[in-house]
Amino acid sequence: MKKIPSRSARTRLIIALDCPNYDAARSLITRLGKSVEIYKIGLELLMSGDFFKVVELLHKMEKEVFADIKFFDVPATVARAVRNLSQWGITFATVHGNQAMMEAANQEKGNMRLLAVTALTSLDQGDLEDLGFACTIREIVISRARRAIEAGLDGVVASGHEIEELRKTLGTKFLIVTPGIRPISNTIEDDQKRVISARAALLAGADYLVVGRPIRDALDPLQAAHILQNEISEFFARA
């Protein structure tokens, strides 16, 4: 049985701010109000030039920040970039590289929690084969997660389809953040191929759930967030 975490159940929901600019991000954050405590911001806002403006807004509103940058470069460059990011009061950040990159990032993370990206939820087995990988998705996820733990990282970003195997193989002493969370009766058309419901992800052993489109594109984003938070709270109450 999954133990109730030390963090409150409400902090387990992370909303992806897949927004084109500061105004769109601020509108969604304001609309969701107190229903959400952690937000993920990534490349779209970074390229808009509003990334750190949104970081400052989130701090002002007493929210936590997940910087989904997926650092990938030579180790020395990754280390310097992570060191700079660590000065912004970031809770989570992502690295998408080999052992040397992850080790370099870990040396400079400060108080941030670093997460290794295993395999993007937009990829399936056919995509891996097209990219030249002679292994299954499961094998690459387990391999990258093991390397991340050896490098000292705090956890991984992994699809709900690999959570159970990760826990069985590598244990519970690392975080699993799971994107691609969808309602049980999902009608959203998107590029996510390996999706899972919130309850199924939590039952398998996920620590945090990342949700984007099902909240952002809902007719009532606040109501959609409340429904998910209730589902998460009920899960931990019964655990």
| pLDDT value, residue 118 | 85
* Pair 208, 39: CB distance under 8 Å: no
Q: What is the pLDDT of residues 34-72, one digit of tens each?
A: 999 999 999 999 999 999 999 999 999 999 999 999 999
Residue 70 annotated to the active site: yes
The catalytically annotated residue of 60, 70, 168, 193 is 70
Domains of the chain: 10-234 (3.20.20.70)
* Position 239 pLDDT exceeds 80: no
* Position 195 pLDDT exceeds 60: yes
Q: What is the pLDDT of residues 210-222, one digit of tens each?
A: 999 999 999 999 9
| pLDDT value, residue 212 | 93
